[in-house]
Every structure is written in C-alpha cells, then in structure tokens.
Structure 1
Amino acid sequence: MKYYYHIIVNPASGSGRGSKVAQRIKKTLDKHHFAYQFYHTAHAGEERQTTQKLLKETLLPWDEAYIENSDMLYPLLVVIGGDGTLHQVVSEVQQISEQQFPVAYIPAGSGNDFARSLDFPKEPEKVFWQIAGTNRPQALTVIHYHEQIQDDSGIAINNVGIGLDAAIVYAANHSAAKSNLNKFNMGSFSYIAAILNVLFRQKGFPILVECNGQQLSFSKAFLCTTTNHPYFGGGVAIAPTATIKDNKLDFVLVERVAMFKIFWLILLLLRKKHMKSRYFHHISTAKLRIISTIPQHGQEDGEEMGERPFDLTLTTTKQLFWC
C-alpha cells in the first residue's frame, strides 16, 4: 500500500519536542519522496478542529479492499504530539460512530504512556518506518465513559482518574511556575512539585464501585484510576497485568493510609510489587460504575474534568490504530 500522510503536529508537546520530532520526520519524508501534508497546531483545541475538517473532506474509512489497490494513495491520519494531543484526535474520530477511521501515532510528549503500552521504539524515525511498513490497522481498546450527573461522555486512550492523580494534574496545570519552567524545557519540575504538594494534602474520600455483579464500598479512597494498559503518570506501571489488546478495563484503587505507609506503597509501586499490598485494590472488568458523592478532582488522559461529585460508567470500545 501507498499512503498520503496527513500529519497533525502539536509543536509545543513535550516542552517543544513535538516541533523537533516533526522536523526529523519531514527529513525522512522528503528524502524518500513520500506524499504528505503537515498541520501544525497553534492553540489548544486546534487538533480537534483540524481532525474534524479532515474527516469531512479528506480521510476515508478503512476497508480491507484498499490493501489490493496499489494505484491509490490512502489518506492516512498521523499524530505527532503527546498523549493529550492523541486523546483530542481520537476523541474527534470516535464521534463518527458508524465508520472506523485509523489513526497513526508518533509520540513526542513528556509521558508517552500510550506508546509505552505498545512498546514503540524511542526513535521517531523507527516509529515512522513501522507505520510505513504496516498494511492494515489494529483494533485496540480505548475507554468510553459517561458521567451521569452532568450528562457528560468522552473517550480516554490511557486512563480516567478521580482523587490523587487528578488533583496532581490540576495542581501542575495551575502552577504559577509551570509556564516559566516550560521555556527552559523543565516542565517536569512543576509536575514533581505538584506531586509533593498534593501528596500531603489529599484526603481519603468515600466511593462506591459496581462491577462484575458486585458492589464494593471504600471509605478512604486516595487514588482511583481506571486504565486500559499498565501505565500512567509517565511510565508508572500502576496495573502491570493490564493490556491494551484485550477487551477489559483495569480498575485500581489505593486507600488513604498514614504518610509513612504511603511512601512504602510508592516504593512497592516502583518495584512493581504493590499489588500484594492490602491497601491496593485491583479489578479487571468489562464495565464499571464509580460513584463519588464528595467533590473530587477528575482527569481523563491528563485533561481536567473539574472538581465535582462523579457518577461514572466506564466501558470499552475499539479504535483502529495504524501500528
């Protein structure tokens, strides 16, 4: 198969890494005379607008018949950016529920948990050649959620969280030092500062979990995350047994305990031995409902969902990825 690459680039992702990766990919495209067009985003939300326009005017839903058509240039959507950029593009693609449009991805963020879950090479050129050498997409699991209180629905490629992780996202995004640190490619320090700040302030909160025909009640939830692969927070294997290729969600809950036990849990987490702790709870399921009546911060793929009560129903759906 031959392709016309329609490449959406977030140049600001990864504290400027997106721009550098795009330049490297452009050199490869030019050297080998590939057909392509770049679409650089200049502000938040532009990736969704560009995706919407391409879906209406340029892209084609996948059909196996294209494999045998050597004369056509299949219009392939490629994303260069971080998990947040990919989240926005996939969310827009999923709005077209009747047809499946494949998405290719070259990671250029600071976390890159989605790429890590698929064991992508670290060199962007190697990722591109994997895309170029693929002749059909894979159907991978993504998370669909519906929040009943505000009647809000969406898609997550990595995870949806309530509590600690979401509070960290909020604190990092609203840090006064974040923009200054980003200018010097030191944005990760604002995230570390947010972790230390929130870790001591986050209180336990009650939640109700419904899954697999059971109701589970927790009085002091601390971290509450639903994921479709092992990683969150830039490489932390919170759910080591999860895989993006099955049709399951992995729910992880950590209870609020004394601070010295929290640090012990973090040590176990870094050594991938946390699943043995009695304060760590893990459930694998195809459908999940989480009710939190006490307002908490929420996040989807590192995007803020606000501080509010939640009544979340989470299920799986499929997205075609060119990988």
Structure 2
Amino acid sequence: MDKLLLIYNPVAGEGAFKENLDEVVSLLQKKGYQVIVHRTSNDEDLEIVINNSKNFIDVVTAAGGDGTIHQVVNAMLKNNLTHVPLGIIPVGTSNDIASYLGIPFSFFDAIQIIGSRKVKNIDVGEVNNSCFVNVASGGLLMEVPHTTSVKLKNLTGRLAYYLKGIEQLPNLRPIPIKISCPEETVEEEILLFIILNGSIAGGFKNLAPAASMTDGKLDVLVFKPVPIPRLLSVFVKILRGDHFGDASLKYFQTAGPIEITCEANVGTDVDGEKGPDFPMYIKLRKGLLPVFVPSVNFK
C-alpha cells in the first residue's frame, strides 16, 4: 500500500474536517493508502514532520485552505520532495488553488481524485526564501486576510474579506513602486499589484483568464490610483471578466524573473499568508510539483 501523509488544519472551516476525519481515513484506506495523520499547528512543526517522513511516504495530502496548502508545499520543497505527489482536500475560507485545479469542495469527492492517482506537474513561484502555488501580491489591502478574525471568517466565509476590505477603502493611498522584469518595467504610484500563477485569486474567477499553472509564465496585474467609486466599478468588471483594457489596470505576462522594490511600509501576501518585506525577488520553477488533478489533460 502507498503511504500517505495526511496533514490537516484543525481550525479551517470551523473544524468541519476533523469531525469527518475517521471517514476520510477510511475512504483513503479503501483507495489503497496507508494513512499517517498529522494535525498541523505551525510551520516549524510541519517541516519537522515532513522531514521525518520523507524517506518512506509516497503521497502528501493537505486538508485546509490556500494557507495550509502554501505551508505544506513549502515544507515539501525544503525537504526536496518534488517527486512526491500532492493531494488537496479543500477546507475553509479561501480555496482558490483547489478552484483553479477543479478539485471538488466535497471532502469525499476530493478523495476520489486522490484515489484516481492522475498527476499533473504544475509550476511553482518562488519569492525571496519561500514558494507560492497561486499568487503573490502587495499593496494597502494586503493586511485584510491577516486582520480578519477566524470567527468572522468561519461565520461568513469569503464575505468576511470583502467586508474587511470595504472597511479599509477610505485609508487607501497610492504607493510608489518599481516592478522590473525582462518584458516590462512599471515605475509609478499604484494601489496594489497581483502576480498570478493560476487564474483565480480572492474568489475572483476571471481575474486572469489566460493564466495557467503549466505555461511557464506569471500573470501580472497592476491597479493604478483611482477614486474609490471608480475602483469599485473596476472590481465589478473583474467579477464579469471584462476588466482587460480598462485604463486603471495594467496587465502583462512574464517568464520572470521579477524584482519589486517599494519604499512605503505596506504589506505583502503569498497564497493567503503574510508575505516577505520588500524588495521581492520572484521567479518561476516550471513543472516543479506533481499534483493530483481531475484529469491528466488539465492545463
């Protein structure tokens, strides 16, 4: 039997996963896996567990939101486990990675994909000393996910982020930034930037429709300073998927590397986790990570 290390976040989704843990383990066993369960508590603990398991595990599975997946992938890469497939069971508030990969939000349907053993190698972004699967971003709204209470997130889901973001809109001020890559240089005042590996971020499914985790490119969106009513209209356009060509946005693709410098004291975010300080050095590692997906024809 293949040995599967199951890592779960006990607080994601108001603890919904742990209430179904026994049945999840049973289903994975029926799919031919010997299951080793780890309840994640912090990054250091996770790295130790994966390091201690790396010589005998065949599969790593992360049950949680984007932040949990981010932590698990970083621990895997630090332990050179790029040959071990990653399974994903979506739980919690933010599941943009699972949405992009087409992984069902039902625990039990997600297990069917892990049991099918269909694997696709995806690109992984690298920023300073860590990696990201889906997105790296920066600007004056980047503190929202980290200042929203767990209780509010569990009660209202992604709406909690939007409510907190609206609360912060009156405080928005342009920030001076320089984004440099072989294809483009942006040096001006902006509101925020979003660098995508996949096409979904913040629940916006049409944010970068051309983005792909297998194309060896990153998609860059830069939001220019505009009055708040104008900014809200841009977000409405993003919901509809017709924001490209809007004068308040700059969009381009790059194979990297990207260097971002900023003198202002603003936050950054990687896969829903607090990101590094500036300067940010970003590159893409093509086809680095094998992931269980619904179809090997996934793009």
For Structure 1 versus Structure 2, the TM-score category normalised by the shorter chain is: 0.7 to 0.9
- Whether 1:203 and 2:202 are equivalent positions in the alignment is no
- Whether 1:84 and 2:84 are equivalent positions in the alignment is no
Structure 2 unaligned runs (5+)? 294-299
Give the counterpart of 1:143 among 125, 132, 136: 125
Deviation string 1:155-197 (CA, Å, 9 cap, x unpaired) is 011111110441322332xxxxx24436x63464542332112
Give the counterpart of 2:233 among 264, 269, 277: 264
Asked whether the 8 Å contact 1:113–1:233 carries over to 2, the reply is yes
Asked whether the 8 Å contact 1:104–1:322 carries over to 2, the reply is yes
- Whether 1:192 and 2:192 are equivalent positions in the alignment is no
Q: CA offset at residue 298 of structure 1?
A: 0.9
State the match for 1:166 in structure 2.
Answer: 142
Deviation string 1:228-269 (CA, Å, 9 cap, x unpaired) is 011111344321211112111111111120111011111111
Deviation string 1:89-113 (CA, Å, 9 cap, x unpaired) is 1101111348633221111121210
Q: What is the alpha-carbon distance in structure 2 between the residues aligned to residue 276 and residue 257 of structure 1?
A: 15
- Whether 1:244 and 2:244 are equivalent positions in the alignment is no
Q: What is the alpha-carbon distance in structure 1 between the residues aligned to residue 42 and residue 116 of structure 2?
A: 32
State the match for 1:19 in structure 2.
Answer: 18
What TM-score results when the alignment is normalised by the length of structure 1? 0.81
Q: CA offset at residue 125 of structure 1?
A: 1.7
Q: Which amino acid aligns with 2:271?
A: D
Q: Which amino acid aligns with 1:225?
A: I
Q: What is the alpha-carbon distance in structure 2 between the residues aligned to residue 199 and residue 240 of structure 1?
A: 26
Correspondence 1:194-233 to 2 at 5 A: 194-219=164-189, 221-233=190-202
State the match for 2:265 in structure 1.
Answer: 295
- Whether 1:320 and 2:290 are equivalent positions in the alignment is yes
Give the counterpart of 2:97 among 114, 118, 135: 114
CA RMSD across the alignment:
2.4
Residues 165 and 58 (structure 1 numbering): CA distance in 2 closer, same or farther, change over 3 Å?
farther
Q: What is the alpha-carbon distance in structure 1 between the residues aligned to residue 31 and residue 98 of structure 2?
A: 25
Q: What is the alpha-carbon distance in structure 1 between the residues aligned to residue 191 and residue 42 of structure 2?
A: 33
Q: Which amino acid aligns with 1:101?
A: V
Aligned residues: 290
What TM-score results when the alignment is normalised by the length of structure 2? 0.87
Q: What is the alpha-carbon distance in structure 2 between the residues aligned to residue 127 and residue 187 of structure 1?
A: 20
- Whether 1:58 and 2:56 are equivalent positions in the alignment is yes
Q: CA offset at residue 206 of structure 1?
A: 1.4
Structure 1 unaligned runs (5+)? 60-74, 147-152, 173-177
Runs of 4+ in 1 over 6 A off after TM superposition: none
Structure 1, 110-119 or 4-13: larger mean CA deviation? 4-13
Q: Report which of the two structures shows the higher radius of gyration computed on alpha carbons.
A: 1
Q: Which amino acid aligns with 2:226?
A: V
Q: Which amino acid aligns with 1:8?
A: I
Residues 254 and 103 (structure 1 numbering): CA distance in 2 closer, same or farther, change over 3 Å?
same
Q: CA offset at residue 201 of structure 1?
A: 0.9
- Whether 1:9 and 2:43 are equivalent positions in the alignment is no
Q: What is the alpha-carbon distance in structure 2 between the residues aligned to residue 21 and residue 262 of structure 1?
A: 42
- Whether 1:181 and 2:164 are equivalent positions in the alignment is no
State the match for 1:39 in structure 2.
Answer: 38
Q: Which amino acid aligns with 1:77?
A: V
Identical pairs, percent: 21
- Whether 1:282 and 2:280 are equivalent positions in the alignment is no
Q: What is the alpha-carbon distance in structure 1 between the residues aligned to residue 267 and residue 8 of structure 2?
A: 29
Q: Which amino acid aligns with 1:102?
A: P
Q: CA offset at residue 34 of structure 1?
A: 4.6
Q: What is the alpha-carbon distance in structure 2 between the residues aligned to residue 36 and residue 91 of structure 1?
A: 21
Secondary structure of 1:276's counterpart equals: coil
Q: CA offset at residue 312 of structure 1?
A: 1.5
